[in-house]
Structure 1
């Protein structure tokens, strides 16, 4: 009989007045008990030993329910899962069952991050693909091709995006769960989850710095979209400055420097994003004089983007502030919003918690 650490709820997918709960199969069990509750109301459903998925219906949209599954023998409960919380209702944006997770079995940090993310976001086990990667910054075409073929073969067709649970290799067009160490990545994941549905209000800062080339996004930004034209949640400001400091309302920070000062002096709400238009910000571990975007993550941001090769100062290779703010504040996830804000993504890398959704909407 497995321990409680081994018997898990694999997935809990909320929908319109329902939740689909899926759990591990215990060969020795003669049946299962699905227990769920809302406040003081507790409900118990007995299920046969062949059932490992059940749709609980008749729930209240917008309410948070507690779920637990117990495996039973003839007379006793043998083992039970941990209790999970699920908010009911069909929500906007990418869902956990639509996200694939890649893990590098040659990297203990990758294994630790992937397991933490699987548990925190309830990523289905069939959406997780294990790879054996060298711990190098870049892969050759010959190294990359068989890995891609394996992912294409094993990943379910329902998966719409990938999260990569490692920091190197970094020259990839996906969102990476990356940081300077495992604790920073776990904190990043926690911030993404904490942001969901919080509907924050604050500011977007588009910086026109003393570096005129790297400030090209500020120079071409349409003044009509300043203020709260894009979203009532976000006050878009164009500042003639190299940095901001001592603030608590930064939701978006679009920089125009090769290295950004004062980022540790601010406090950032969960879900906040930042990036700078510079040459090697996406070279996470060896960016030289160009600040690595991992510095934004270390400072408390939930997402960032940087390039790994010479992009020139072409705005189409970096996030468009208008589109990023529009998509994110309308209830799309971080990975959807960032991806849709960049016309040419092939030279860049995203770092962040892909499913972060601060302006998540419930759909009736």
Structure 2
């Protein structure tokens, strides 16, 4: 099943970094300096670097703007009120694009409350609102579905009966749109979640500070680390990692490493790993706008009831956006962010919300969390 999906989506190319009207693809032959595969964990040796299948992504024109974002605030939640108002002011969200609604403050929202929320969103926002920021930490799910996918795609009544089964493909997956509601009739959403209001303010500030800061001519490159861990079931994405090495023209240095997290890092923009629990993410030198996620069963359970590290651990460490699942997804590649597609869309200047949503083929169980408008590779 996963191999069939990969075969349908991958395109092998030869040569350097390709930027054409048709799309983008990583270089097959990179400038592999001495540090190209040095992101290894303690006691691990660098893996053999081999040619990998390369993924073509479409060329995207434009990106989501603040005036196209709808902000939803839960008036029953003091965190939501404070964080939502701070976000509105920092990103200058128009007041007409703010929906204030009273919702239960609990881990999982009922389907009745979900439909009420979706109805109010449709009533409040006009066709100019292309995406949504949900300013709370709980609820993070609707039964076994994530709140972000339930708000965006609607509730999937079959999901809880077959949580490890195939799901309908997201129309947003690897799409070229920068106006998803206009083009697809969908408003992708992201949760403005954090462990507390102080950390939420820092998250918002990181996102705003990241805009237009990376990919500049003459600037020091940033690093992306793709980790293969001792947990083979959670390291299935290693077959999708991009080639290691320096992509000088875009200021990006890809590292393939072994271990849970990279060590001795500077200017890190992306980490992807596969592990149930991790420690030491706060020691990584994250740049504003950095993304990170770990493939595990319950990384999206924000009440931390499953005993696994969650997306909140990434955000607390200094990451700007992340992704995790709220119910058992099994390790289907389609249910987690595709390494190359995530990075290639982000490198084009897409926002964190757009890059993450476009990287997941089956997002029904996946929670998108962070500062939606962060766009470090966007041009002014």
TM-score > 0.5, shorter chain as reference: yes
Matching residue within 286, 304, 321 for 2:304 = 286
Q: Output one character per residue of 1:4-28: Cα deviation in whole Å (capped at 9) or x when no partner.
A: xxxxxxxxxxxxxxxxxxxxxxxxx
Say whether residues 1:304 and 2:351 are aligned partners. no
Q: Output one character per residue of 1:150-171: Cα deviation in whole Å (capped at 9) or x when no partner.
A: 1111112111110010000012
Provide TM-score, normalisation by structure 1: 0.72
- Matches of 2:248 and 2:193 in 1, distance apart? 30
Match of 2:304, SS?
Answer: coil
Matching residue within 194, 202, 206 for 2:209 = 194
- Matches of 1:188 and 1:97 in 2, distance apart? 20
Matching residue within 260, 263, 286 for 1:268 = 286
Residues 230 and 322 of structure 1 are in contact (CA less than 8 Å); yes or no, is this contact kept in structure 2? Answer: no
Match of 1:118, SS?
Answer: helix
- Matches of 2:113 and 2:305 in 1, distance apart? 23
Q: RMSD in angstroms over aligned alpha carbons? A: 1.6
Say whether residues 1:221 and 2:191 are aligned partners. no
Matching residue within 82, 86, 96 for 1:112 = 82
Greater helix share, structure number: 2
Instruction: Report how far residue 230 of structure 1 moved.
Output: 10
Which shows bigger deviation, 137-146 or 112-121? 137-146
Matching residue within 135, 139, 156 for 2:109 = 139
Say whether residues 1:203 and 2:223 are aligned partners. yes
Partner of 2:355: 337
Q: Which structure 2 segments of 5+ residues have no match?
A: 1-60, 142-146, 149-188, 216-220
Residues 300 and 366 of structure 2 are in contact (CA less than 8 Å); yes or no, is this contact kept in structure 1? Answer: yes
Instruction: Report how far residue 92 of structure 1 moved.
Output: 3.5
Give the number of aligned pairs: 270
Runs of at least 4 residues of structure 1 off by over 6 A? none
Partner of 2:340: 322
- Matches of 2:241 and 2:259 in 1, distance apart? 18
Q: Output one character per residue of 1:178-219: Cα deviation in whole Å (capped at 9) or x when no partner.
A: 10100100000000010000015311111100000101101x
Q: 1:104 to 1:231 in 2, by over 3 A?
A: farther
Residues 226 and 241 of structure 2 are in contact (CA less than 8 Å); yes or no, is this contact kept in structure 1? Answer: no
Match of 2:117, SS?
Answer: helix
Q: Output one character per residue of 1:285-304: Cα deviation in whole Å (capped at 9) or x when no partner.
A: 13422111101000000010
Partner of 1:99: 69
- Matches of 2:315 and 2:241 in 1, distance apart? 28
- Matches of 1:304 and 1:216 in 2, distance apart? 18
Residues 319 and 341 of structure 1 are in contact (CA less than 8 Å); yes or no, is this contact kept in structure 2? Answer: yes
Q: How does 1:24-63 map to 2 (within 5 A)?
A: none
Match of 1:213, SS?
Answer: helix
Instruction: Report how far residue 94 of structure 1 moved.
Output: 0.6
Say whether residues 1:181 and 2:196 are aligned partners. yes
> Greater Rg, structure 1 or structure 2?
1
Greater strand share, structure number: 1
Say whether residues 1:254 and 2:272 are aligned partners. yes
Residues 283 and 307 of structure 1 are in contact (CA less than 8 Å); yes or no, is this contact kept in structure 2? Answer: yes
Q: Output one character per residue of 1:9-64: Cα deviation in whole Å (capped at 9) or x when no partner.
A: xxxxxxxxxxxxxxxxxxxxxxxxxxxxxxxxxxxxxxxxxxxxxxxxxxxxxxxx
Partner of 2:129: 159
Q: 1:285 to 1:160 in 2, by over 3 A?
A: same
Provide TM-score, normalisation by structure 2: 0.69
Residues 233 and 329 of structure 1 are in contact (CA less than 8 Å); yes or no, is this contact kept in structure 2? Answer: no
Residues 227 and 262 of structure 2 are in contact (CA less than 8 Å); yes or no, is this contact kept in structure 1? Answer: no
Which shows bigger deviation, 243-252 or 170-179? 243-252
Match of 1:103, SS?
Answer: strand
- Matches of 1:240 and 1:164 in 2, distance apart? 35
Q: Which has the higher contact order (CA 8 A, sep 6+)?
A: 2
Match of 1:179, SS?
Answer: coil
Residues 245 and 263 of structure 1 are in contact (CA less than 8 Å); yes or no, is this contact kept in structure 2? Answer: no
- Matches of 2:229 and 2:107 in 1, distance apart? 31
Partner of 1:360: 378
Match of 2:80, SS?
Answer: helix
Q: How does 1:4-15 map to 2 (within 5 A)?
A: none
Q: Which structure 1 segments of 5+ residues have no match?
A: 1-90
